[in-house]
Amino acid sequence: MNILVTGGAGYVGSACLRHLLQLGHKAIAYDNLAQGHPEAVPAGSFIEGDIADTTRLTQVLQEMDADAVMHFAAATCVGESVEHPEYHYANNVAGTLSLLNAMRAANVERMLFSSTCATYGDNPKPPMNEKTRQVPCSPYARTKLAVEWMISDFASAYGLGYTLLRYFNAAGASPDGMYGEDHNPENHLIPLVLQVPLGQRPLIKIFGDDYPTPDGTCIRDYVHVDDLARAHSLAIEATTPRTHEVFNVGTGNGQSVKQILRACEEVVGSEIAYEVTARRPGDPPALVADPSKLKKELGWKPRYEQIEDTIETAWKWHKSHPAGYGTT
């Protein structure tokens, strides 16, 4: 297949693109580099561009004779979305509208959208399956749900086939230590914790320890980025112009913030300093996947089921690339 990967120079997008190339697909990353890194993309597989540029997107899709689009390009920081919702609505909602219009103009009939478990919001009974009520509690999550609705509406009106992947917390790095997370600013828990033993921050802040969870800290389902990539390839290969499908992608096992902290201490072999601060707006207490549908219908199974194994890959990446892709 010929697949355009929007946001394909980002953390998850580039992992999925590299996996597609390994499987023999022709995959091209389309990214404006606001958050992505060209070093994460194999040579010859990158085009710089913005999804807001409908004309350029249409041209790229036509020139590569695209069969499908994997859509990752988005603003993703929950805290930032609370402070600057206009930025997230412009990037996530208006940007996707531009992409859908370009796909129509180029006659591309298949789409995989990188959605999020955050659309489920503050639901009291994890694990969550695909029928769990969606009550997003941050502007970021609401933009993702709005995009889900928009894709569904375009599918009904214009015959678009789509798969929505609501995945949980992406984590880890490539086992060889060559590719991993590099965000500025960093907002993912595992890299932030690992910055402490690297000497890049004095301690890790835990945002609230009074949630209704066993140890009072938020619980999340951490899925290795390579497992995410395999889920994306299985999903896009199963998507036809008549597909209207949704899958959760997660391990089914939740880890609290304090459990992640302890697991990182075990991996690095030393204690990691922390302090508890006030809750962060927009954070649900617990988000844990029920991935049984993905396992049953697409045959997916996570290879990284123990959080320590995922953290091991992240630690290898961060030790060898302390400045991310800027490390020489």
> CB neighbours (10 Å) of residue 199?
8
- Provide the sign of the torsion angle of the four alpha carbons 96, 100, 105, 110, taken in this order: positive
Residue 76 pLDDT? 80
The HSE-up count of residue 160 (CA atoms within 13 Å, CB side) is 30
Residue 185 pLDDT? 84
Residue 67 to residue 109: CA distance in whole angstroms: 7
Residue 323 pLDDT? 92
Confidence of residue 328 (pLDDT cuts 50, 70, 90): low
Percentage with pLDDT > 70 across the chain: 99
Tens of pLDDT along 149-169? Answer: 999 999 999 999 999 999 999
Average pLDDT over residues 129-147: 93
Whether the predicted pLDDT of 116 surpasses 80: yes
Average pLDDT over residues 25-47: 96
Residue 61 pLDDT? 98
What is the SS3 assignment for 270? coil
Domain with CATH 3.90.25.10 in the chain: 171-220+252-289+303-326
Residue of 31 and 77 predicted with greater confidence: 31
Residue 300 to residue 292: CA distance in whole angstroms: 9
The DSSP-derived string for 140-195 is HHHHHHHHHHHHHHHHHHH--EEEEEEE-EEE---TTSSS----SS---HHHHHHT
Residue of 185 and 159 predicted with greater confidence: 159
Which residue, 116, 96, 117, is CA-closest to 160?
96
Residue 77 pLDDT? 78
For all residues of the chain together, what is the average pLDDT? 95
**Interacting residues of 22 by C-beta distance below 8 A, sequence separation 6+:** none
Annotation marks residue 304 as catalytic:
no
Residue 124 pLDDT? 67
pTM: 0.94
* Residue written as token pair 């060898």: 320
Catalytic residue among 140, 162, 222, 304: 140
Average pLDDT over residues 86-90: 93
Average pLDDT over residues 131-143: 92
Tens of pLDDT along 227-266? Answer: 999 999 999 999 999 999 999 999 999 999 999 999 999 9
Average pLDDT over residues 213-217: 95
Domain with CATH 3.40.50.720 in the chain: 2-168+223-249
> CATH topology for 2-168+223-249?
Rossmann fold (3.40.50)
Whether CATH 3.40.50.720 fits 171-220+252-289+303-326: no
